[in-house]
Amino acid sequence: MAEKVDLEEVKASNGEAHRDGPLANGFTGQRKGSPEPMSKRLKRIVMANLLVILTVAGVIVGVFIGLGVRTVSPTLTQQIYIGFPGEILIRLLKMIIIPLVVCSLVSGAASIDPKALGKLGGWAMLFFLVTTLIASSIGVVMAFIIKPGNVEMNTTANAKDMSDDIPANKEVIDSFLDLIRNIFPSNLVSAAFQSVPVGTDQDGMNILGLVVFAIVFGVALRKLGEEGEILIKFFNSFNEATMVLVSWIMWYAPVGIMFLVAGKIVEMDDVGKLFASLGKYIACCMIGHAIHGLLVLPLIYFIFTRKNPYTFLWGIFTALATAFGTSSSSATLPLMMKCVEEKNGVSKHISRFILPIGATVNMDGAALFQCVAAVFIAQLNNTSLNFIQVITILVTATASSVGAAGIPAGGVLTLAIILEAIGLPTSDISLILAVDWLV
């Protein structure tokens, strides 16, 4: 009996789901013998996946609400009212980010042996680097195949002045210097609401600096031994309390996502013209994301675990839908932690150490979209990219995505770095802002 318990603990520590767990993969175990009535079975499945069903329904209803409201041409004030419930969801999630990231990383780093911590972190960073390079490559290949820039564009439609948002003459080296500056924040308190672009403070959480500090602080607490136990217990309790708050916020997510999607559709100037002019660009990004998210990453998962990757994806569907609605990896982090731990049975030690780092430095989607956008803008300007420029796009997209803010439109600003690196006009970024939330 003891051996069986130990085996289950080992499985949990390796991030594996228990096959007989009541919430594993969203289905409960059923004893062999008398057949279960269909009505009870259906009710059991619905209750086990209620949050996912509500989230999917929220996205679908949000699309119809948005399309319906557009017909009455709402005023700007009315548009704000429509998006208000969604704004509340984003504010709730952002409120939880800092305590969740700091406490989970301090707790995780303090609970893992330093040698194991270094090995785990090393493998994680290697995985992040490889998948980001793959995503960048997919983006470039898809852009050259589909050629989204070979269309006639109305350069004034859906445009936005980016002059205030893009630093003048920002070089590639500036991105790397900013990355290092953010890793070492001069003020820990200001890091909670300021980051560094090109040597100046800018509003927005410096998650990267907080992540590095929390990991180092957790390792330091473990080095203290018994003297650090009290503080470790404090962070553990704080972390558990934060996850309780996350579980409450999760049930509001379907409502918030519904109004977020509706609000985004209502805000778009002319859906028909927008999709006519940017349809190939949107399709290119969507196909690229589908290949990377539904084929490449599941294949990697299957190779290492020999398990069905789509069962795992179903377990985190609520978090994926939230990511679609909020366009923010940072805001999605709390729900992702809850999903992988409760639905997929991933060990808390693993999830609470890896996920905050991944949400900060592993921006596969941003890298893919930036590569597509760079080739798209080059094609619009009738500029042929040589081999060196393509490699520059791949390397710069991979590097700049690490420092990209996990916020809506965060990847658009780092796209300016790529365009500067290959000599393309940054003013054309305004063309794709209208669909940034979608791709």
pLDDT in tens, 6-25: 444 444 444 444 444 444 44
Which tokens is 212 given? 């590095």
Dist CA 54 CA 42 (whole Å): 16
Residues 350 and 15: beta-carbon distance below 8 Å: yes
The total number of structural domains in the chain stands at 1
Report the percentage of the chain scoring pLDDT > 70: 77
Q: Rounded to the nearest 10 degrees, how much is the dihedral formed by the CA atoms of 304, 310, 315, 319?
A: 100
CATH number at residue 325: 1.10.3860.10
- The verdict on residue 154 lying in a domain is yes
- The verdict on residue 233 lying in a domain is yes
The residue that leads in pLDDT, 399 or 230, is 230
Q: What is the pLDDT of residue 28?
A: 46
What is the reported pTM? Answer: 0.69
96-118 mean pLDDT: 83
- The verdict on residue 100 lying in a domain is yes
> pLDDT category, 266, cuts 50, 70, 90?
confident
Least confident of 98-112, 292-306, 399-413: 399-413
What does pLDDT average to over the chain? 79
Q: What is the pLDDT of residue 29?
A: 47
Express each pLDDT in 323-365 by its tens digit.
887 777 777 888 898 899 888 989 888 888 888 888 878 888 8
Q: Which domain holds residue 241?
A: 49-435
> pLDDT category, 215, cuts 50, 70, 90?
confident
- The verdict on residue 7 lying in a domain is no
Max avg pLDDT among 214-228, 281-295, 423-437: 281-295
- The verdict on residue 217 lying in a domain is yes
> pLDDT category, 402, cuts 50, 70, 90?
low
- The verdict on residue 71 lying in a domain is yes
Q: What is the pLDDT of residue 169?
A: 52
- The verdict on residue 431 lying in a domain is yes
DSSP 202: E
> What pairs with residue 203 in β-bridges?
194
Position 164 pLDDT exceeds 70: no
The residue that leads in pLDDT, 438 or 413, is 438
- The verdict on residue 27 lying in a domain is no
> pLDDT category, 196, cuts 50, 70, 90?
low
Report the percentage of the chain scoring pLDDT > 90: 18
Tokens 């929390």, located at residue: 214
Dist CA 275 CA 283 (whole Å): 10
Position 84 pLDDT exceeds 50: yes
Which tokens is 382 given? 């009738």
Q: Which helix (H) or strand (E) holds 341?
A: helix 329-342
70-87 mean pLDDT: 89
